[in-house]
Amino acid sequence: MTPLGARIAARIAAEGPISVADYMAECLLHPEFGYYATRDPLGAAGDFITAPEISQMFGEMLGLALGQAWADQGAPARIVLAELGPGRGTLMADMLRSLRAVPGFLDAAKVHLVEASPRLAARQREALQGHDVVWHDAVSDLPRDAPLFLVANEFFDALPIRQFMRAEGTDWRERRVGLRDGRLALGLAGPAPQPALAHRLDDTAPGEVVELCPALPAIAAEIGARIERNGGAALILDYGGWGSRGDTLQAVAAHGFADPLAAPGEADLTAHVDFEAIARAAPCAHARLTPQGVFLERLGITARARLLVRGLTGAALESHVAAHRRLAHPDEMGTLFKCLALYPSRAAPPPGVDP
């Protein structure tokens, strides 16, 4: 058992089983042994690769989409350009490079990053040298007095989730992490009503699992309220769907799937994002959920790929072609990953999404 696993087991032995959300929070954010506190998880030497690390085209497309949304809203003179969970800073760096092509945007924008990992914040400082950047611990710390143009790529999937199994009638049984023969194991709490799941009684049957993300509503409400009040737009890209159904908790280590309970603190833990919950909580307009591949193609990723291919040969050419396919093809990230856009009810949606 890992050092963090031993601490979690001792807590359970003393206090009883804990929720999946509490388990995820300990595994990811424990200040000494948590996954994000102890490593840079990205890249070939890490545990997984996100879209910005696959190709510069991803960030370029998102940057231009926000740039067009800014222009469509009258090109306000001062805006907040924000990213949640910015990884190594690659996505923001690529966005800023592409936004040079949008006259006036960079003069209006101040960059704000919301990051919980000191290690990743250090990498972001390296990637964004020369740019004026402010770091924050939470979305609520972002400035409140200017239009908010925000991107969140693979941010919501890392927020801790609670899991509930439908029982008979209107009751639910929460899945909890306990101990069995000295090892961490999942079990079920007793049946009880869950008011937050009242809207799921009509579309679930006994035995089905539904997931709730406790932190999601407040974050989505914060983003949506600022966009509705001051203007702006948010592009939220992640894997998931409209509504939560089934057990989607997963662990990734060394670019492969692992047992979520096997090595606490040494594997990334994520769950599929319930985009409907984001839309329900955000008090602004939202576009229909759009597959990532469709979104990127509408923004012109294929045309950009053809420009970048000039002069490439051999392994560089093969890598470029594979990157384009991985980002946009339906059999790769193009269908599994989705884009939800938030925007003011008085404005048009950002380009690339289904209104």
Q: What is the DSSP string of 230-285?
A: H-EEEEEEEEEESS--S---EEEETTEEE-TTTSTTSSEEE--EEHHHHHHH-SSE
Q: What is the value of pTM for the model shown?
A: 0.94
Whole-number average pLDDT of the chain:
94
Q: How confident is the model at residue 46 (pLDDT cuts 50, 70, 90)?
A: low
Please give the domain boundaries of the chain with CATH numbers for all domains.
36-160+213-341 (3.40.50.12710)
Distances (CA, A) of 200 to 121, 212, 273, 348: 38, 11, 16, 31
Q: Residue 60 is encoded by which pair of tokens?
A: 């370029």
Distance CA 203, CA 245 (A): 10
Site of tokens 């890392």: 158
Q: What is the pLDDT of residues 117-136, one digit of tens each?
A: 888 899 999 999 999 999 99
The H or E element spanning position 162 is strand 162-166
pLDDT for position 253: 83
Any bridge partners for residue 256, and if so which?
253
Total residues belonging to the chain: 355
Distance CA 208, CA 107 (A): 51
pLDDT for position 44: 52
Q: Residue 268 is encoded by which pair of tokens?
A: 């990334």
Distance CA 92, CA 165 (A): 39
Distance CA 285, CA 224 (A): 8
Q: How confident is the model at residue 108 (pLDDT cuts 50, 70, 90)?
A: very high
